[in-house]
A and B are shown apart, each in its own frame.
Chain A
Amino acid sequence: MSAPPFATVLVANRGEIARRIFHACAALGIRTVAVASEPDRHAAWHRDADHVVPLEGATATESYLDQAQILTAARRTGAEAIHPGYGFLSENAAFAEACANAGIVFIGPPIEAMRRMGAKTAAIELAMEAGVPTVPGARQDERGDAGLREAAKRIGYPLLVKASAGGGGRGMRLVREAAELDDALQAARAEAKSAFGDDTLLLERFFERARHIEVQVLGDQHGGLVHLFERECSIQRRYQKIIEEAPSPAVDEALRARMTGAALDLARAAGYHNAGTIEFLLDDQENFYFLEMNTRLQVEHPVTEEVTGIDLVACQIRVAAGEPLGFTQADVSLRGHAIECRLYAEDPATGFLPSTGRLALYRRPHGPGLRCDDGVATGSIVSPHYDPMLAKIIAMAGDRDAARRRMIRALRDTVALGVRTNLSYLLTVLEHPDFATGQTYTAFLGEHPELATAEAEVDEDVWLAAAALEALGAAAGDPATGAVVVAAADGGPSGDPWGRLGRWRNGA
């Protein structure tokens, strides 16, 4: 076997993605270094790293975004490269530059490509130059609200107000008519200012029956560049993806050829290498429009890995070390179908408010055709400082419906208690006839608000289970009974469920 691409890699991230990268490194024979903020000292995800360096601070800004602390940790542990994961410093060109200056490889695209594609306006200009269709909109904000009001007349309604520096739905507003525009501009500016320190806005035409389709590209530093087909990520709540799949049920061979061709044209024009994603909006007439390019690994990369058999993280590391991809477009093929669900600590019934606290009980699903990328364990603390995603559950099978049924089974097998989660919500969506038939549009969740508050049927099983759990004092994390999971009796036939009888209380 050839030598590892690097001897030591530091992962400047947390949670499931940090763990995912540790595993890729382990497979390549690379020593791994984790960094852990103060609230993450007792987290489960960094147990899979060879070394853990504590970071000072609790908030993201004080810890995982603190470039100086991360670089110091890399230097002290002899890390030759830093993998930024997604979020945090992953799209920060200044950090990539600081790494280069410190003689450390930033596992990502060239700094120039990050800069260019990171600024939405510059990215759209490049797409236009490369002949890639773009969404009608206004990308100039020099004249402030007055200029945007005029542009809105030209673009027409409905339209989206977006933060130029934005992402993840922050600083974004949907405006259905002219009368709503002023309020939306004001709110988006305030949100953009507080979230990104930059209140530059842009406007975009909004399509009602649209799908979010993105193309994964992967390139090396020797001119090798391939696409790994598309993903569909239309199921979003507040512009946050929650269910993704590959391939898209709406993309046939001809459309796939057009979209992947456009993605490669753009990646080439940007001088891109490493992994990147080109996001498109697909309307119901098979027209597609470039939205933005993500110059990093995506949360939903596993679905692409499952349908291509390519380890994206391993490829990222290898090409960052200067290795060639080692395969060409002709070697890449699409097999079967994969669906990913994001398990979030949030309450769909209260408008997806994040839920924090102790994950009193967690059991991941397992079985054939299932993959679970998670960063939590029973007892993990879900803190308000970071993204509330607990796990990604990925199901794959020969075709879409088989993958969907596998996913339903996996979600039913997942236990996550102690914080409110979107688990039931995900199940409801997977079981919805529109999802089952591939009628997945970005407006899906907004058009089905009843799914967020759907209540499970209370049958006799439910009463029996609740009564038995109470009788045993077996509710995890209950201060009244003192039942904690680590103290639970052994599950074997000789396990004594009465071991805790002394703590029973007399109920009303």
Chain B
Amino acid sequence: MKFTLRIGEQTRTVRVMRAGGALRLQFEDGPQVELDVRRLADGTIELWPGPHAPIGSVEDQDGQGDPLRRLRAAAAAIGQGGERQLWVEGKMLRYARHAGGAARASADAGALSASIPAVVLEVLVAPGEHVEDGQKLVLLESMKMVLPIQAPHAGVVAAVHCAVGESVEPGVALIEMERD
């Protein structure tokens, strides 16, 4: 198995082989590492140096091989598109596994939606109304906060798809606008 991981700006491809009860990870640009993996009941994993001692090394802060270290980690999918949250020994990061050319659904150009689940507090505009750039169109409330949806440009409100009190999901069009 071979896949590509992206963390921040860096991308690395790794080849994974099963070696007895262990995992052999071969990074294209780096060492080969053999690891024993244990999955714990709480959802985390432990990585241990493999049975034949690491090929290459797990480098520690001094750049010295440190084959006796155990590494604890966990991950969870977040959002759409293969993004993961990663926890490694108390450190939190995000990474993505290259999905292989899966196109991301692009939002409808003129449609405005909530970025998080929310409840509609106020609808400030009606269809046909002309609005200025930055004008507040809808007020949403989510977890004690009032969040406005603002016009991204001047234009005319083409349609309003929400009503006061309604629960709305992220990405679902609430307002459609036509640019001036």
- Give A residues with C-beta under 8 Å from B: 58-59, 168, 170, 191, 194-195, 353-357, 360-361, 363, 378, 383-388, 411-413, 415, 417-420, 423-424, 427, 455-458, 460-472, 474-480, 485, 488-491, 493, 495, 497-498, 501, 504, 506-508
**Secondary structure call for the B interface:** strand
Beyond A464-B33, A506-B2, 16 extra complex contacts between A and B, CB < 8 Å: A353-B147, A360-B77, A361-B74, A363-B74, A378-B42, A411-B90, A415-B42, A415-B74, A417-B76, A458-B10, A472-B45, A476-B77, A478-B76, A498-B18, A498-B21, A507-B100
The 7 closest A-B pairs by CB, nearest first: A507-B3, A412-B90, A491-B40, A417-B76, A465-B73, A508-B100, A360-B76
Task: Indicate whether A495 sits within 8 Å of B116 (C-beta atoms), given known contacts A456-B93, A469-B86, A504-B1.
Answer: no
Residues on A with C-beta less than 8 A from B117 are: 356, 383-384
> Within the complex, what minimum Cβ distance (angstroms) separates B93 from chain A?
5
CB-based contact A485/B116 at 8 Å: no
Question: What 1/0 flags go to B64-82 for Cβ under 8 Å of A?
Answer: 0000000101111110001
> Within the complex, what minimum Cβ distance (angstroms) separates A245 from chain B?
21
CB-based contact B144/A170 at 8 Å: yes
The distance in angstroms between the C-alpha atoms of A424 and B122, with both chains bound, is 34
Choose among A363, A383, A463 the residue that contacts B7 (Cβ–Cβ < 8 A). Answer: A463
For B, the interface residue count at a CB cutoff of 8 angstroms equals 71
Question: What 1/0 flags go to B128-172 for Cβ under 8 Å of A?
Answer: 000000000001011111110000000000000000000100000
> Within the complex, what minimum Cβ distance (angstroms) separates B82 from chain A?
7
CB-based contact B77/A475 at 8 Å: yes
The distance in angstroms between the C-alpha atoms of A460 and B73, with both chains bound, is 13
The distance in angstroms between the C-alpha atoms of A476 and B86, with both chains bound, is 10
The distance in angstroms between the C-alpha atoms of A468 and B118, with both chains bound, is 36
Residues on B with C-beta less than 8 A from A468 are: 23, 25, 35, 37, 45, 47, 73
Choose among A355, A387, A488 the residue that contacts B144 (Cβ–Cβ < 8 A). Answer: A387
Residues on A with C-beta less than 8 A from B73 are: 465, 468-469
For this complex, 26 residue pairs linking A to B, each with C-beta atoms less than 8 Å apart, are: A58-B167, A194-B146, A353-B116, A353-B145, A353-B147, A363-B42, A378-B43, A386-B143, A387-B143, A412-B89, A412-B90, A415-B42, A415-B87, A417-B78, A424-B92, A460-B59, A462-B86, A462-B95, A465-B45, A466-B5, A466-B95, A467-B16, A472-B23, A477-B77, A490-B39, A498-B21
CB-based contact B85/A470 at 8 Å: no
Residues on A with C-beta less than 8 A from B100 are: 507-508
Residues on A with C-beta less than 8 A from B25 are: 464, 467-468, 471
Residues on A with C-beta less than 8 A from B179 are: none
Residues on B with C-beta less than 8 A from A413 are: 90
CB-based contact A466/B86 at 8 Å: yes
CB-based contact A508/B98 at 8 Å: yes
CB-based contact A475/B75 at 8 Å: yes
The distance in angstroms between the C-alpha atoms of A490 and B43, with both chains bound, is 10
Residue of A whose beta carbon sits closest to that of B46: A491
The distance in angstroms between the C-alpha atoms of A294 and B154, with both chains bound, is 45
CB-based contact A488/B37 at 8 Å: no
CB-based contact A423/B115 at 8 Å: no
Query: Which one of A191, A356, A411, A508 has the highest number of Cβ atoms from chain B below 10 Å of its Cβ?
Result: A508
- Give B residues with C-beta under 8 Å from A: 1-5, 7-8, 10, 12, 14, 16, 18, 21, 23, 25, 27, 30, 33, 35, 37-45, 47, 58-59, 71, 73-78, 82, 84-93, 95, 97-101, 115-119, 121-122, 139, 141-147, 167
The distance in angstroms between the C-alpha atoms of A415 and B91, with both chains bound, is 10
The distance in angstroms between the C-alpha atoms of A504 and B99, with both chains bound, is 13
Task: Indicate whether A470 sits within 8 Å of B121 (C-beta atoms), given known contacts A356-B116, A465-B71.
Answer: no
> Within the complex, what minimum Cβ distance (angstroms) separates A289 from chain B?
26
CB-based contact B97/A507 at 8 Å: yes
Task: Indicate whether A456 sits within 8 Å of B91 (C-beta atoms), given known contacts A464-B25, A471-B25, A476-B77.
Answer: yes
CB-based contact B142/A485 at 8 Å: no
CB-based contact A471/B1 at 8 Å: yes
The distance in angstroms between the C-alpha atoms of A489 and B45, with both chains bound, is 10
Task: Indicate whether A59 sits within 8 Å of B92 (C-beta atoms), given known contacts A378-B43, A468-B23, A469-B75.
Answer: no
Residues on B with C-beta less than 8 A from A476 are: 43, 74-77
Residues on B with C-beta less than 8 A from A507 are: 1-4, 97-98, 100
Residues on B with C-beta less than 8 A from A495 are: 38-40
Choose among A195, A461, A504 the residue that contacts B58 (Cβ–Cβ < 8 A). Answer: A461
CB-based contact B99/A485 at 8 Å: no
CB-based contact A194/B139 at 8 Å: yes
Residue of B whose beta carbon sits closest to that of A475: B75
Choose among A353, A420, A464, A470 the residue that contacts B115 (Cβ–Cβ < 8 A). Answer: A353
Task: Indicate whether A475 sits within 8 Å of B44 (C-beta atoms), given known contacts A354-B116, A384-B116, A461-B71.
Answer: no
> Within the complex, what minimum Cβ distance (angstroms) separates A66 from chain B?
15
CB-based contact A470/B5 at 8 Å: yes
The distance in angstroms between the C-alpha atoms of A93 and B91, with both chains bound, is 45
Residues on B with C-beta less than 8 A from A427 are: 90
The distance in angstroms between the C-alpha atoms of A466 and B98, with both chains bound, is 12
> Within the complex, what minimum Cβ distance (angstroms) separates A410 from chain B?
10
Residues on B with C-beta less than 8 A from A415 are: 42-44, 74, 87
CB-based contact A488/B90 at 8 Å: no
Residue of B whose beta carbon sits closest to that of A365: B90
